[in-house]
Amino acid sequence: MLHIRTPHRTRRNRGFAWRTALALLALCFVAAACTSTDAGDGSAATPDGEEITPATAASSSGRERPATDEYSDDMADDEADEGATGALGGGAAAEDIEAAVSGESDYMDEEETVEEEMSDDSASGLSSGGGVAQSESVQSAAPEHEPYEPSERRRPTESDNFVDYGVNPFVDTADDPFSTFALDVDTASYTVARNFLDGGQLPPFEAVRVEEFVNYFDGGYPDEIDEFTISVDAAPSPFADDGDLLLRVGVQAPHLVSDAVQPDSIILVLDSSGSMNQETGTGNDRTRRIELVYDAVELLLEGLEPETRVGVVAYEDHARTVARPAAIGRNHDDLIRRIQRDVRPGGSTNVADGLVTGFRMAESEAGRGRHVLVLLFSDGVANVGATETDRILRQLGERSDIGLSTIGVGLGPFNDELMEQLANRADGSYHYIDDHDEAWRLLGGDITSFVSVAARDAKVQVIFNPDTVAAYRLIGFENRDVADRDFRNDAVDAGEVAIGQSATALYELALVDPGSRSRRSSETLAKVTLRYQRPASERITETSATIRPRDARRSFGDADRHFRLAAVAAEFAEVLRDSWFVDDWSMGTLSREADAVARQFRGDDDVAELARLIDIARRLQ
């Protein structure tokens, strides 16, 4: 049976009249197209002759469900690996789902039911992401994520480059119970948005990534020695429909871990192009970008162990070596003076040459058995040499012993896409600093959680119980999607997590009516599995946690304060990006809930600032 699901919640009502008119015009077009097609086949034709079926007209996340034979292989592999891994892979085998959502009890009456559905799905080409049938030979005519219409006043300026990754739709659990994504602990989107708001402007839609708003704040999860922990909790949300649940999936990296990697050498790649002479920040906190880089580098060097080797490369039209790698202990003051003297703004921006030169220096260090982190400070505005992420990364190559993290500085011009994708695809993290306070927050004091790696290629797979969860929506992580079948494919790149870091993902769940649930299968909402590689030993590890309906809090007010903080941060991001799943009344509710959470976190400047930014955004709307 084909399930085509419309958005579970309505979009805010602005512009309703003209969208209705467009919808009527679209219906007229479809009706006219249908008259030119064969009756009874359920298909239509586009102006260029491409066939559109009811399946291709539905929204999809773009993930493919493997064919039946691939499932059979996955099932066999899972059985062979059961004792070794003890957690689920990506194949939708009946025993996998049963183990995930019901433990020792079955939530399906017959195991053959799932196998039969799998055969039907593979025959009709079901898409794993969207829960609708789609022929492999026909591309979907609909966007991968729910679209929206950004207003002109909030478009990014021509000198800034942001990318819109869309908004995840609701997925019918009966069609696809698996949700798989790479962990993300970046925070840049939140500080970029703050910079816009403090400057009296709403941020561009494209600048807002929900997970980076949420992960700017600590999750408050329990910490165990040498082991990652998974925390799963749920409660009704004031921002969701009545009866829906907000599910929080939290991952906490240990502060004490035996298998982590801390860099022996750090190579600083500093942008010294002419745009770094422009100011950044707002009000009295405005400063030249290059001076903010000086401050950030000084904080970084002060936090490093004395034996850490540091090298420096600067670039504008071309790259040049400022300082060859040497232990920072005795060279700290001299290196800071040299950077401030020799790294001066001017010329064009050849990011590629700067990174290639920095990576050559890093490869020399790695060749001596050292772990190396390359750290790029830039506004990302590449205008000389290779200017696209793919071309730059091809020039750099892939090295498991060399990481790349990026720190963005300044707006107008600023290339958020380049900075985010470089870190995303080169085993690092992406952050943004707009003033000295943010530089201190990121690099001041103990910087272990910034430069270290406790887990590589960290992936999360959530398996929902179709008997209790009718539909689910992952809030954010749109550009961190991993194919369900690749959950156990360790060749697929995922996310990195540092010592002591926490990562949070939120889901909105539409529940099945309790009266229609089977007695045998309603004990579980979902099972969450974390899979990652321990950096030093390269050993693959999996850990899991399960949540039951009775574990959910009865009200939002009863939920953990960190749960409420994550919900407020996520809803704020949803409002700023004008998500389909935000209602007109959300901003007033959001402001009240933010103030309430700030009172619970009395004395926490970051939470108080979140409430302040929400008030600013409310006035600007």
Give the C-alpha separation, 327 to 332, whole Å.
Answer: 9
Instruction: Give the tokens for residue 124.
Output: 């009709």
Q: Which region, left, alpha or beta, applies to residue 62 given φ > 0 means left and ψ of -120 to 50 means alpha?
A: left
Give the count of alpha carbons within 13 A of 324, CB side only: 2
Hey, is 388 helix, strand or coil? Answer: coil
Question: How far out from the chain centre does Cα 87 lie?
Answer: 23
Buried b (16+ CB within 10 A) or exposed e, 534-566: bbeeeeebbbbbbbbbeebbeebeebbebbbbb
Q: Check if the beta carbon of residue 392 is closer than 8 Å to that of residue 404.
A: no
DSSP class of 67: P
Q: What are residue 395's phi and psi, to 5 degrees?
A: -70, -30
* HSE-up of residue 15 (Cα within 13 Å, Cβ side): 11
Q: CA 337 to CA 397: how far, in whole Å?
A: 32
Using DSSP's 3-state secondary structure scheme, residue 285 falls into: helix
Helix axes 561-576, 605-620, angle to 10 degrees: 30
Peptide bond into 413 cis (omega under 30): yes
Helix or strand (DSSP H, E) at 322 = strand 319-327
Q: How many CA atoms lie within 13 A of 282 on its CB side?
A: 12
Q: What single DSSP character describes residue 128?
A: T
Give Cα separations from 415 to 55, 160, 192, 287, 351 (angstroms): 37, 6, 11, 19, 11
Sequence-distant (6+) residues with CB within 8 A of 27 are: none
Instruction: Please answer whether residues 350 and 313 qualify as being in contact, where contact means their C-beta atoms are separated by less than 8 angstroms.
Output: no
Tokens encoding 361: 């220096």
| Domains of the chain, CATH where assigned | 16-52 (no CATH), 265-446 (3.40.50.410)
The answer to whether the CB of 278 falls within 8 A of the CB of 410 is yes
* pLDDT for 292: 94
Calpha distance 214→191 (Å, rounded): 12
The pLDDT assigned to 125 comes to: 31
CB 353 within 8 A of CB 335: no
241 and 586 Cβ atoms separated by less than 8 Å: no
Which phi and psi (to 5°) does residue 187 adopt? -135, 0
Specify the residue for token string 């219906």.
27
Q: Which amino acid type is present at position 49?
A: G
Residues of the chain with pLDDT under 50: 1-94, 102-154
Taking the C-alpha atoms of residue 484 and residue 65, their distance in angstroms, rounded to an integer, is 8
Q: Residues for the chain: how many in total?
A: 621
Encoded tokens for 489:
């494919």
Strand order in the sheet with 469-475: 171-172, 469-475, 502-511, 245-252, 229-235
pLDDT score of 157: 56
Cβ atoms of residues 327 and 255 within 8 Å: no
User: How far is 515 from 498, CA to CA, in rounded Å?
Assistant: 44
Assess contact for 475 and 574: CB atoms under 8 A.
Answer: yes
Residue carrying the six token digits 């408050």 = 220
Could you tell me the two tokens for 325? 């790698």
Nearest to 251 by CA among 219, 278, 217: 219
Provide the terminal-to-terminal Cα distance of the chain, rounded to the nearest Å: 43
pLDDT tens profile 278-288? 888 776 778 89
Identify whether the C-beta of residue 278 lies closer than 8 Å to the C-beta of residue 247. no
CA distance 30 to 607: 49
Kindly state the helix (H) or strand (E) to which residue 568 belongs, with its residue range.
helix 561-576
